[in-house]
């Protein structure tokens, strides 16, 4: 294996006072937000292999577990969730920096995961908590935040949430794919019950409900991630677990005479990413913007990048690892 050292790699200290739990780049890749057990979020500007510390956001009273940047059409907005059970939404204004514009404290335990919906659905934030519930924060046309708590789906806790692509697979060739009537309102959650659940919006009940449970993992599901829809005829959903497996779940496009824009449960098929289990707990999965590369971080301190080859099999194409430095 050829080793490439990263002598010219940008690296910097985030100045957190405790362990980092998450780091997220914004829509353009120009800013990085990190969050930590020290209860703060640090924001950095990244440009031309240089970084500049911009601001420390203090508002949580416990470790901050995840951060998520909203789509830039909503302005410079960042969400954070914490072990203290709250979710904060921060907005940056000229001259004032980031200030909290909404505090969501309806969960009874640590909020472990947050994810913004695709911008076509408006500013909607999905939250998953150790209290077993998911919730939705939506900024309404009246200019207020609406909070909707969803019934328990993972009784022992929700660890991960992810929104489905808003345009249905196969809809690129149909007219009106991006009109609101044809948008997919669906998300996935992963929990401590070892399952992945697919939720879909019910027009009748005006809420989200579980439409399918994907079973296969043997331990807590640590992360779920839908791949961006880039015109492929199927939907990809990745899940990773403490059982040391990563599964790629795929669902083909719904029948051509269905113009509702919803992905019906025509059936998910799963495939293990690797023929052999990973050597440790798999903590995170994330898709590239192009939707064809899956990054996986494993507890054996390796981050591997996977890609589907010509034969439709997943193969590892790159690895970032840490073998330790000489003392």
Partner 1 sequence: MSRIKGVDKFVVEREKETALHLKPGVFPLGRQSEWAAQNRTLTFALHPLTAGVAVSVAGKVPRENISKDIKVYAPDERVYFCKTVAVSDARLPFANDTHAVFLAMQSIMGQDAEEVGVEGLLRMSALYREAMLQQVRMLQDGEQQQQKESEFVETEVEIFQSMHAIWHLLEIIYLTTNLPGLNTSVVPYYMEWLNFNFPAPLAEDGQRIADSARDADALNKNTELWPYLKKLALRGHMTTLANMLEQVAPAQDLSAPSARWARELARVSREMPLGTSDETTGSFNARWRRWSNETHDIATAIGSLFSDEKDDPPLRSLFRIAEILRGEVDVISEEGELWQDVLGAILLYSEPTAQADRLPTLAQVVLEQFQTDEFTQLDRALVALINHDLAEFLVYSNQIDNWLSAHTSDIMDHLGILEEWRSVFAVDPRAHFLHLLGEKYLSHQDLWHVGLDYFGQSKTLTGMSLVEESIVRMPLESDRKAQKMLDVCAKYGLSTAIDRIHRQLGRQKWQRGRLGAAIGHFARVGDRNAIGQICDQLWAEYLKSGKLTYGPIIDGVMAGGRLRHDRLQFLTQYRDFHESYKAGDFIAAGRLLLAILVDETAPLHAIPDLLVDAIPLLEGDSLVFSADDTFELMRCAEALTQSPLVKKSIDTAAADQMLPWSEESPATTRQDELGIFNVACARNLARSFVVL
What part of residues 112-171 is at the interface with partner 1 (CB under 8 A)? none
Hey, what are 231's tokens? Answer: 């015109």
Least distance in Å: CB of 16 to partner 1? 5
Q: Is 201 helix (H, G, I), strand (E, B) or coil?
A: strand
The DSSP string of 29-79 is S-EEEEEETTSEEEEEEEETTEEEEEEEEE--SS-EEEEEEPPGGG-SEEE
Site residues for partner 1, 31-60, by CB under 8 A, read: 32, 34, 36-37, 44, 46, 49
Q: Is 300 in the site for partner 1 (CB under 8 A)?
A: yes
Which range in 99-107, 198-206, 248-256, 303-311 contacts partner 1 by CB under 8 A?
A: 303-311
Which range in 137-145, 195-203, 266-274, 300-308 contacts partner 1 by CB under 8 A?
A: 300-308
Q: Quote the CA–CA distance of 79 and 125 in Å, as a whole number.
A: 8
Hey, what are 97's tokens? Answer: 């920096």
Which range in 140-148, 195-203, 260-268, 291-299 contacts partner 1 by CB under 8 A?
A: 291-299
Q: Quote the CA–CA distance of 79 and 89 in Å, as a whole number.
A: 4
User: In this complex, which beta carbon is closest to partner 1, that of residue 9 or of residue 255?
Assistant: 9
Q: Shortest CA distance to 232 belongs to which of 306, 312, 286?
A: 312
What x/- string results for residues 219 through 258 when contact with partner 1 is judged by CB under 8 A? ---------xxxxx--------------------------
Least distance in Å: CB of 317 to partner 1? 6
Q: Quote the CA–CA distance of 140 and 75 in Å, as a whole number.
A: 16
Least distance in Å: CB of 206 to partner 1? 29
User: In this complex, which beta carbon is closest to partner 1, that of residue 136 or of residue 224?
Assistant: 224
Lookup result for tokens 């027009």 = 203
Which range in 28-36, 140-148, 211-219, 248-256 contacts partner 1 by CB under 8 A?
A: 28-36
Q: Is 175 in the site for partner 1 (CB under 8 A)?
A: no
Contact 199, 215 (CB under 8 A): no
Q: Shortest CA distance to 226 belongs to which of 298, 170, 169?
A: 169
Kindly report the number of other CB atoms within 10 A of residue 275's CB atom. Answer: 7
Least distance in Å: CB of 300 to partner 1? 7
Least distance in Å: CB of 15 to partner 1? 7
Sole binder of partner 1 in the list 29, 176, 218, 277 (CB under 8 A)? 29
What x/- string results for residues 183 through 222 when contact with partner 1 is judged by CB under 8 A? ----------------------------------------
Q: Shortest CA distance to 222 belongs to which of 203, 199, 253, 245?
A: 245
Beta bridge partners of 236: 250
């Amino acid at each position: 294996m050829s080793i490439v050292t990263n002598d010219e790699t940008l690296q910097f200290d985030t100045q957190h006072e405790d362990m980092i739990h998450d780091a997220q780049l914004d829509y353009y890749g120009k800013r990085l937000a990190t969050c930590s057990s020290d209860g703060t979020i640090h924001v950095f500007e990244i440009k031309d292999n240089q970084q500049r510390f911009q601001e420390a956001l203090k508002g949580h009273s416990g470790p901050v577990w995840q951060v998520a940047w909203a789509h830039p059409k909503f302005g410079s907005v960042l969400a954070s969730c914490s072990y203290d059970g709250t979710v904060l939404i921060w907005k940056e204004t000229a001259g004032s920096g980031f200030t909290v514009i909404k505090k969501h404290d309806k969960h009874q335990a640590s909020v472990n995961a947050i994810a913004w919906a695709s911008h076509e659905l408006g500013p909607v934030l999905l939250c998953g908590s150790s209290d077993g519930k998911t919730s939705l924060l939506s900024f309404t046309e009246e200019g207020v935040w609406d909070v909707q708590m969803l019934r328990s789906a993972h009784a022992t806790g929700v660890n991960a949430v992810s929104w489905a692509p808003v345009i249905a697979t196969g809809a690129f060739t149909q007219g009106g794919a991006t009109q609101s009537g044809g948008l997919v309102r669906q998300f996935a959650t992963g929990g401590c019950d070892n399952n992945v659940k697919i939720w879909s919006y019910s027009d009748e009940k005006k809420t989200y409900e579980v439409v399918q449970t994907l079973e296969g993992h043997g331990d807590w599901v640590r992360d779920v991630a839908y791949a961006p829809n880039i015109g492929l005829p199927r939907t990809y959903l990745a899940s990773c677990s403490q059982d040391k497996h990563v599964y790629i779940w795929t669902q083909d496009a719904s029948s051509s005479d269905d113009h509702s824009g919803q992905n019906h449960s025509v059936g998910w098929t799963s495939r293990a990413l690797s023929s052999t289990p990973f050597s440790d707990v798999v903590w995170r999965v994330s898709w590239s913007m192009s939707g064809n590369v899956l990054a996986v971080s494993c507890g054996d301190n390796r981050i591997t990048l996977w890609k589907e080859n010509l034969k439709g099999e997943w193969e590892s194409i790159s690895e970032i690892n840490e073998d330790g430095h000489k003392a």
